Each structure stands twice: as structure tokens, then as C-alpha cells.
Amino acid sequence: MRTQVGIVGAGPAGLVLSHLLHREGIDSVVLEAHTREYVQERVRAGVLEQNTVDLLSQTGVGARMQHEGLVHHGIELRFQGRGHRIDFRELTGKAITIYAQGEVVKDLIDARLAAGGTLLFEAPVVSLHDFENSSANKSSIRFRKDGSSVELGCDFIAGCDGFHGISRTSIPAGALTEYERTYPFAWLGILAEAPPASEELVYCYHDRGFALLSMRSPKRSRLYLQCHPEELIENWPDERIWQELHTRLARRGWSLTEGPVIQKGITGMRSFVVEPLQYGRLFLAGDAAHIVPPTGAKGLNLAVADVWVLARAIAEFYRSGDRSLLDRYSETCLRRVWKVQRFSWWMTSMLHRFDSDNPFDCRRQLGELDYVTSSRAASQSLAENYVGLPMD
Ligand code: APR
Ligand code: PHB
């Protein structure tokens, strides 16, 4: 088996990359450890930046998103029982779209298969070979399929296999530097058959911890609560979750809509970056290269920004033999990555309660929220980051 670009992982990064390469006339094979159903049904984030929406629309995979996605022109920051709107349209002229990651993944898989693309599911990659030298052109990927071991020869390998994938760890120790911060809390998230009680997302700071009201459709709410990182979901029957959400999200004249809980889980929070994003002919993209805490809703959008840069660089190489964009891949992506890391860390730090905080820290957080919601310059800074910084 042979292709031009071997892609490990069929998450948003791997699928968007394969789609963009196809549009440039470049052949790729996507290898995914799990089933198609698994990658489509995984409950993940659901906020698309304007950049992501534009890219999907302009490359022909945006039709269902445009029809079913919910376009939001702002968010609410809620603290001390009062709501403050950040108006994206007025501050940036841009918007965000609520459309679940699973739906983006479904649309991309449909488009790749309709175009005759090769996506292999239940095909876990076990090892990567001969990618160390950036001038040789016979790298290979070994994976398992239906009980046998198969080898895929390729010019380039794209490691789009998430934080726990094999690509990053295949690079020799010492070649990469890791930057990391973990947070002393996690998010307990539920998906509920309940019409969202607010038209826009509500990010809420409360003495008892952060809460977030989000949604998936006019009938489905997605809600989160800050909790202890070692918290067990068994300790949180639905009634306790609703009670805590009511308490934290309370606002005069407003109430939360309840409904049957159809999914619940706890997700840890971390900030992580590896540098560089390239080793020889292996390029890391998306969660394989960096993780952001979910507070700014940036994970998927950052993965899309990476592969947009990578697809352009690979296309330029095949078109003209010029590798300068490939050589700059890591540097180009890292500039955006660090700005997005800063924003996600800042939103997280402003909105969560830290065990180590003293009353001074809590007052400082309230001072910051007051500033962000009352200064046009500060609101605009939040807004321009939230809707997405311009693509390079
Ligand atoms: N072989 C093949 N596939 C693998 C392997 C392997 N050895 N290891 C991991 N994978 C697959 C996973 O099963 C997963 O489907 O790689 C895929 C990686 O997808 P994501 O984790 O979704 O990562 P990414 O595409 O970078 O998307 C980043 O999606 O996961 C969210 O929070 C994340 O929103 C962010 C965005
Ligand atoms: C979500 O809808 O899942 C969501 C929304 C906003 C965030 C994180 C997650 O910041």
C-alpha cells in the first residue's frame, strides 16, 4: 500500500487535512484506531470560530452546518448573580457557530468517502518508520487491520492522533520540549434533553466554582460544572447536578430548564504544547501537539488552523518542490498556538475557583470580570480571541 501523505487519526485534524489535500490533488490515507460510529458519536466540544466555519464552507463541507448550526453573536459572562453580554458582532463584526464536533466529523467522513478517499477504521497504527530524515522519501506506517499487520508507504506522515496517540511518542526523546500546566479542577459535563434556558452561552463565575451553559440544538442543552479533578461521576446523581447548576447559574428573573440527562462525564483540564511540531517527515497537528483547557472552546479550532497551514505547505512542495513552507510549519503554527494557549489559560484563570485562592484572589477575579465587562478595550480583546484570531 502506498500514498503521498499517511494520516494517523480520524479526528477533526486528520479528516480536515485529508479533505484539504484532496482538493489540492494530493492522495492520502487516513488510519483510525476506532470505529466510524465511535469517532462520530464521541461527545466533544461544539463551538466553531468564524475561521473554521469559513474554511468548511469554502471547501464544500459546510452545507449541513449552515443549515443546522446555531449562529451566535455574543456570549454572557455571569457573576454575582448578574449577566453581562459580550457583543461579538458590535466588537468584531464576526460570529461563532454552535455545531457539535461529531457533526463536523460526520460531514467530513461523508465528503471523503463520496470523493473516493481511503479512510480505514479499526486500523490502529502500531509504529512509524524512516521519517527521521527530511530528504528521504520512503517513510512508512505499520498498522493492524483484521488481525494482520499492514505497511503503508508514504512521503509524509501527519500525526493527527490526539494527545494519547503514537506519533508524538515516536519522536526520539530529547528532540522535543514539552510545556505543560495542569489545573486543580475538572469539568463535569451533561447533555440534557432540555431547551437551553439562554439563547447564548453563559460563562458563570460563582463562589462554589465555575459553571457553563451551552447547547447543541434548540432542544438540547450542554452544561458543565467545575469539580474536583478526582471527583467520581457516581457521586453525582442527576438531581445533585441540577441543584448545583441552579445554585451557580442563579440570576434574578431567570431560571434553568431541566430535562432528562442523556450523557454525563468528567473531563480533566490541562494546557500542553510540544515544540517543535515537526521531526523529519513527521508533522504533528491538533491534540497530538497541544491541548488547551476547554474554557475558550479552542481545541477543535486550533486543530483546524494547524492542518490548514500543513495542507498549504505540502501542496506547495508537490507543486514546486519548494520546502520552505514545510520547514516553517512548526514556527507558523506555534505563533497561533501560544496566543490561543494564553487566551484559554486566561479565561480559565478568570472564571474558576482555585483551592489555593484567598479572599484577595477572589476579589481580584471579580475586579477582572468587572473590567472585562465594562471596558470596551477589554471586551474587544476577549471577543477577538473568542471569534478567532485571523489565520496567518
Ligand atoms: N492509530 C490510529 N488512530 C489513532 C491512534 C493510533 N495509534 N491513536 C489515536 N488515534 C485516533 C483516535 O482514536 C482519535 O479518533 O486519533 C484520533 C484523534 O482525534 P482527536 O482526539 O479528536 O484529536 P484532533 O483531531 O487533534 O482534534 C482536536 O478534537 O479531540 C478534540 O478536544 C479535542 O477539540 C479538540 C479537537
Ligand atoms: C460546549 O458546548 O461543549 C462548550 C462550549 C463552550 C466551551 C466549552 C465547551 O468553552
- Pairing of β 148-154 and β 139-145: antiparallel
Q: Dig out the grid coordinates for 258 from the structure.
A: 431541566
Domain with CATH 3.30.9.10 in the chain: 183-269+354-387
Residue 299 in contact with ligand 1 by CB distance below 6 A: yes
pLDDT of residue 44: 87
Please say if the pLDDT value at position 272 is more than 80. yes
- Measured in Å, residue 166 CA sits from the centre of ligand 2 at 27
User: Bigger pLDDT: 43 or 220?
Assistant: 220
Model confidence over 283-309: pLDDT tens digits? 999 999 999 999 999 999 999 999 999
Q: Whole-model pTM?
A: 0.96
pLDDT at 380 over 90: yes
Q: Give the DSSP letter string of 62-112.
A: -HHHHHHPEEESEEEEEETTEEEEEEHHHHHS--EEE--HHHHHHHHHHHH
Over the stretch 57-85, which tens digit does the pLDDT of each residue have?
999 999 999 999 999 999 999 999 999 99
Q: How far is the CA of 290 from the centre of ligand 1 (A)?
A: 12
Percent of the residues in the chain that have a pLDDT greater than 70, as a whole number:
99
How much is the pLDDT for 29? Answer: 98
Task: Please identify, by atom number, the ligand 2 atom nearest to the C-alpha of residue 294.
Answer: 8
Catalytic positions, written as ranges? 72, 203, 294, 298, 386
pLDDT above 80 (res 356): yes
Q: Is the CB of 34 under 6 A from ligand 1?
A: yes
**Of 285, 279, 295, nearest to 349 (Cα)?**
295
Ligand 2: residues whose CB is within 6 Å? 45-47, 201, 214, 222, 294-295, 297
**135 band by pLDDT with thresholds 50, 70 and 90:** confident
Mean pLDDT over all residues of the chain?
97
| Start and end residues for every CATH 3.50.50.60 domain found in the chain | 5-72+96-180+270-347
Q: What pLDDT is attached to residue 337?
A: 98
Q: Which atom of ligand 2 is nearest to the CA of 45?
A: 3
Domain with residues 5-72+96-180+270-347, CATH architecture:
3-Layer(bba) Sandwich (3.50)
Minimal-distance CA residue to ligand 1 atom 33: 299
Range 183-269+354-387 has CATH code 3.30.9.10: yes
Give 136's pLDDT tier (boundaries 50, 70, 90): low
Please give the Cα distance from 171 to 128 (Å, whole number): 9
pLDDT band with cut points at 50, 70 and 90 for residue 134: confident
* Paired residues of 220 in beta bridges: 217
